[in-house]
């Protein structure tokens, strides 16, 4: 776990800084997200490829919506300092991942699920009606991707025996970022430099909590779909005892 203290331009951070409010305000829901069954299974390397592909599809629709709204609002003074398309944007990486998994006709083979559509609708609504709230959506996804991405990439690569060249996992690879830690610090200081009153900062925390919930609803939906998919569970190498229930924690 890295430290966050005393790292902005002036050398101090206060609890009223947006980065601190977001971190504190989403701590509880972050723990909930980490503890959803889908996420726990993923971390254990118990990833069914068909489900992983559907997860990539959900991310594709989510990032397409988010980056469309970011482009629309890239000159908005309350978003512009967070505009890092080269470093962060995932739309094209996800399109390449989907092409790898579904082939050249991938666009005709995917649909937007219900939980994903709810998330997408909220992103578009925010982008059109209250663009400052896009900060919360960008924070929730990009900061999360930069935090856990490398671990998730390795787990997925190993569990699904994907090529070491990184095909199918471009989403997890941020070629424009050399140090995730340094970039996260830059992003936090940019968030803290936005001119926002306390009421707006509180709205942003609420919106980030909502964004976590949208993500959890997508995980829960995937979990439900997973129950209906008949496929061998690919395992990252942990021996599974008790084949009756398949729970390695027992
Ligand atoms: C940050 C772990 C799932 C969003 C982090 C950090 C870790 C972590 C270690 C770094 C904290 C720091 O920088 O001090 C995990 C694990 C997860 C998980 C193990 C389960 C697989 C998620 C999910 C989301 C998310 C599902 C949202 C969709 C975030 C955000 C941050 C973060 C926004 C930045 C917090 C901040 O510094 O303000 N996570 N995470 N994480 N994660 Fe996660």
* Domains of the chain, first to last: 18-228 (1.20.910.10)
Mean pLDDT of 90-109: 98
- Nearest alpha carbon to residue 145 among 106, 167, 177: 177
Residue 200, pLDDT > 70, answer yes
Helices 180-193/18-25 angle, 10° precision: 110
> Structure tokens of 180?
């995730």
Residue nearest to atom 42 of ligand 1 (CA): 144
Distance in Å, CA 74 to ligand 1 centroid: 25
Distance of alpha carbon 145 from alpha carbon 250, whole angstroms: 30
Distance in Å, CA 64 to ligand 1 centroid: 21
Find the range with the poorest average confidence among 128-132, 207-211, 228-232.
228-232
Supply the pLDDT for residue 245. 37
Residue 119 and residue 218 in contact, taking contact as beta carbons nearer than 8 Å: yes
In this prediction the ipTM stands at: 0.94
pLDDT-derived band of residue 171, with 50, 70 and 90 as boundaries? very high
Residue nearest to atom 6 of ligand 1 (CA): 147
- Nearest alpha carbon to residue 55 among 211, 221, 205, 192: 221
Indicate if ligand 1 lies below 6 Å from the C-beta of 136. Answer: no
């Amino acid at each position: 776990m890295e430290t966050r203290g005393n790292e902005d331009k002036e050398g101090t951070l206060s609890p009223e800084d947006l980065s601190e409010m977001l971190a504190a305000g989403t701590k509880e829901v972050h723990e909930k997200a980490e503890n959803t069954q889908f996420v726990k299974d993923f971390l254990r390397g118990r990833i069914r490829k068909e489900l992983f592909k559907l997860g990539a599809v959900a991310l594709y629709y989510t990032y397409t919506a988010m980056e469309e709204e970011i482009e629309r609002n890239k000159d908005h003074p309350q978003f512009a300092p967070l505009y890092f398309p080269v470093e962060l944007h995932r739309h094209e990486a996800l399109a390449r991942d989907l092409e790898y998994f579904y082939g050249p006709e991938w666009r005709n083979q995917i649909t937007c699920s219900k939980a994903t559509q709810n998330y997408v609708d909220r992103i578009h609504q925010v982008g059109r009606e209250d663009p400052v709230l896009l900060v919360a959506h960008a924070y929730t996804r990009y900061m999360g991707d930069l935090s856990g991405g490398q671990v998730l990439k390795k787990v997925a690569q190993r569990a699904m025996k994907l090529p070491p060249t990184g095909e199918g996992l471009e989403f997890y690879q941020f070629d424009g970022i050399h140090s995730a830690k340094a970039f996260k610090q830059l992003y936090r200081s940019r968030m803290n430099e936005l001119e926002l009153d306390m009421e707006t900062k509180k709205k942003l925390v609420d919106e980030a909590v909502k964004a976590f919930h949208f993500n959890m609803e997508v995980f829960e939906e995937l979990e439900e779909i997973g129950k209906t998919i008949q496929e061998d569970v690919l395992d990252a190498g942990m021996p599974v005892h008790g084949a009756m229930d398949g729970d390695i924690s027992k």
